[in-house]
Structure 1
Amino acid sequence: MALVTSKGGSSSSSSSSFTYQLKNFDVFLSFRGEDTRLGFISHLYNALCQRGIKIFIDDNLQRGEEISAGLVKIIESSRISIIVFSENYAYSAWCLDELTKIVECKKNNQLVRPVFYNVDPSEVRNQKGKFGEALSKYEEKLKDKKKVQRWREALHEAANISGWHYKHDCTEFEFIQEIVEEIANSELNRMPLFVAKYPVGINSRAEAIILQLDIGSNDVRM
């Protein structure tokens, strides 16, 4: 599942009431709240906020069988998606729907990075352990078998993306700092340059600059 927006924001329990929040975010966090909300996610969220990174994580949006159209738009407009795979991630159909959308956005050049928190990437990739148990239960329960297959494919693809694996070989603080540093130095520092499709009045300005440069002279001009 994906706290609220950036610091100072708030979220209503009605999915229709957060339309005003539909804006671009730097990072979208997808996670299983029961596993990580009060520990790892809260620390990661605060560390990213301290670096001035705008984050979207939802705690209070109204739940349904599928993620809302508003949340889909937020995922699409985010520059980076971080998926925190924890032990019970796959037991949330909401998380799996988010994951499927995130993997789809990756094909449109969105940066996607997984975090394997207390799970091995191979369990996610091959749907072993609790990931396998959760998917098997969905196959028994749901009539839409194609949807379960899409979840399986999304899990496999996401687990093959380069990310971070918490192996308890360092403190959680050090692990989070590594994530924050990489995110802060990634696509967030590559601000797009806007260039008009049909620029007007460029030639006269270029000619004025060329005259000022006095190209051909022996001295150096800047």
Structure 2
Amino acid sequence: MAVQAASSSSLSSFTRWWIYDVFLSFRGEDTCQNFTAHLHQALDRKKINTYIDYKLPRGEEISEELLKAIESSRISIVVLSKNYASSTWCLDELMKILECKKIKQQKVLPVFYDVNPTEVRHQREGFGKALAKLKERFKDESKVERWKATLTEVAGLSGFTLGDRTEPEFIQEIVREVSRLVNHKYLNDVAKHPVGMESRV
């Protein structure tokens, strides 16, 4: 069923009903015990309300709980690591995240962890191998093509790459940007001319 674009009035209503500031999408076996855990801790220290699921997914289909968490988050941080594309769970999660970006104007921040954005955009190296295996495994080639298009789209967004920095510096840059976005959105939720604010300013 086609989803109609949200009106400006409905978008403003979305901003009042966020449950989480951030939804963290990641491949557990790659980053659960290190980078993602450290990023989560850094966000938590800044009082940024973050949804993270440390439980390993069971089965092929994304859970209803995770779908609702994505829909209820202002920002999604997608940690794209070596084995991200080998998980159908992660790929379906990413499709939902980008769907919410379009419908609810949520912010999506890709983090390229130990991968190059071109690997993701053009499905090279590990991403290409993972999708080739999925193509052999699934009879529905159209779904694999949708996953490819999703990876291409997320790789085209403005995001973060490690470069020559240390991991703590990398994490702090991400946290600073998230803090800026969260605080900016909170201010946008306030009326344009709040009573009594001008004199105090």
* 2:131 maps to 1:132: no
What's the secondary structure of 1:158's corresponding residue?
A: helix
* 2:190 maps to 1:193: yes
Task: Extract structure 1 runs of 4+ deviating beyond 4 A.
Answer: none
CA distance in structure 1 between the partners assigned to 2:51 and 2:30 by the alignment: 18
1:17-96 correspondence to structure 2 within 5 Å:
24-60=19-55, 62-96=57-91
Deviations 1:88-143 (A, max 9, x none): 11111111111111111111200000000110000000000010001011111101
Deviations 1:188-217 (A, max 9, x none): 43221379xxxxxxxxxx9xxxxxxxxxxx
Q: What TM-score, normalized to structure 1?
A: 0.74
CA distance in structure 2 between the partners assigned to 1:188 and 1:74 by the alignment: 20
Q: Hey, what does 1:156 align to over in structure 2?
A: 152
CA distance in structure 2 between the partners assigned to 1:137 and 1:160 by the alignment: 24
Checking the alignment, whether the CA contact within 8 Å between 1:26 and 1:188 is kept in structure 2 is no
Which residue identity is paired with 1:147? K
Pick from 159, 165, 171 the counterpart of residue 161 of structure 2: 165
* 2:111 maps to 1:145: no
Aligned length: 173
Higher radius of gyration, 1 or 2: 1
CA distance in structure 1 between the partners assigned to 2:170 and 2:57 by the alignment: 32
CA deviation after TM superposition for structure 1 residue 72, in Å: 0.8
Which residue identity is paired with 1:193? V
CA deviation after TM superposition for structure 1 residue 71, in Å: 1.2
Q: What TM-score, normalized to structure 2?
A: 0.82
Q: Hey, what does 2:172 align to over in structure 1?
A: 177
CA distance in structure 2 between the partners assigned to 1:74 and 1:56 by the alignment: 7
What's the secondary structure of 1:38's corresponding residue?
A: coil
CA deviation after TM superposition for structure 1 residue 70, in Å: 2.1
Q: Hey, what does 2:198 align to over in structure 1?
A: none
Pick from 89, 97, 101 the counterpart of residue 96 of structure 2: 101
Checking the alignment, whether the CA contact within 8 Å between 1:35 and 1:86 is kept in structure 2 is yes
Return the structure number with greater helix share: 2
Measured on the aligned residues, the alpha-carbon RMSD in Å equals 1.7
Pick from 120, 140, 159 the counterpart of residue 116 of structure 2: 120
Instruction: Mark the runs of 5 or more structure 2 residues left unpaired by the alignment.
Output: 1-17, 196-201
CA distance in structure 2 between the partners assigned to 1:47 and 1:187 by the alignment: 15
How much identity, in percent, do the aligned residues show?
54
Q: Which protein has greater RCO, CA pairs closer than 8 Å, 6+ apart?
A: 2
Q: Judging changes above 3 Å, is the alpha-carbon distance between structure 1 residues 144 and 81 closer, same or farther for their aligned structure 2 residues?
A: same
Which residue identity is paired with 1:150? R
What's the secondary structure of 2:23's corresponding residue?
A: strand
